[in-house]
Copies of this chain bind each other. A is one copy, B any other.
Amino acid sequence: MRIRVINPNTTAAMTALIEASAKLVAAPGTLVEGVNPTMGPASIESHYDEALAVPGLLAEIARGEAEGVEGYIIACFGDPGLDAARELARGPVIGIAEAAMQYASHLGRKFSVVTTLGRTAGRAWDLAERYGMERFCANVHACEIPVLELEDPKARKVIADACRDAVAADGSDAIVLGCAGMADLCEYLSDEVGVPVIDGVAAATLTVQSLVTMKLRKSGRGEFAAPLPKRYVGLLADFGIEEKEARV
């Protein structure tokens, strides 16, 4: 089984961290590859960044399809481009917010999300609603550390404090990490905070692996069928799908 973890930003160090987290949980027979787009923002911290990360992400999906990849993880907590990626891929595509929230829902009544910047909290709520997870989400807390500063040694203590405060304020049963860049902190935070801590990269990797094991692909009918062949112009001309290559 061959699955691909796509870091939708263009920072290679973060891709490496994400790939390592995914590999840690994958089964022996599962080949996990971490990739990132060749175009787009260095980190994703706004709707604007998300929107502009998507073309590069979709190019990675298209490349994966050509290379026979069986499933994809979108490793950014905003799950950018998920619907479009599902149209393009034959196998499953899972976002890390989607997977983390759903696994967290099995562990108790409520989870708290601890994320990077406060301005991304609205997006987390939108996703919780979309995935039916709003009823399990006690609240979304920001530690106000930018994505690319998460690796600063001082960051982990700030995040641990934010997790502890979240559990105390929300009376929640678990913490969902609100950024792929926190993936390597999962065990540390779990020990520090004393409740289950869910990293979406691991969660989504296992979800994709499970779906491929069950031979489950996205439905090819209607909304998520392959995009229609169409002419694209300008900078994005190469994204157009020619009649001849259109899949049904």
Contact = CB atoms under 8 A, between A and B. Distances in A.
How many copies of the polypeptide does the oligomer hold?
6
Contact of A107 (B171, B198, B217): B217
Contact of A232 (B41, B45, B54, B171): B41
Contact of A98 (B48, B106, B133, B227): B106
A18 B108 CA distance: 26
A82 to B, nearest CB: 8
A153 interface: no
A118 B136 CA distance: 18
29 contacts: A10-B234, A25-B214, A27-B28, A37-B234, A38-B233, A39-B233, A39-B234, A41-B232, A42-B233, A43-B230, A47-B227, A51-B58, A52-B84, A52-B232, A54-B54, A56-B234, A94-B106, A103-B207, A107-B217, A108-B221, A108-B224, A109-B224, A119-B222, A119-B225, A132-B132, A171-B222, A173-B222, A187-B215, A195-B219
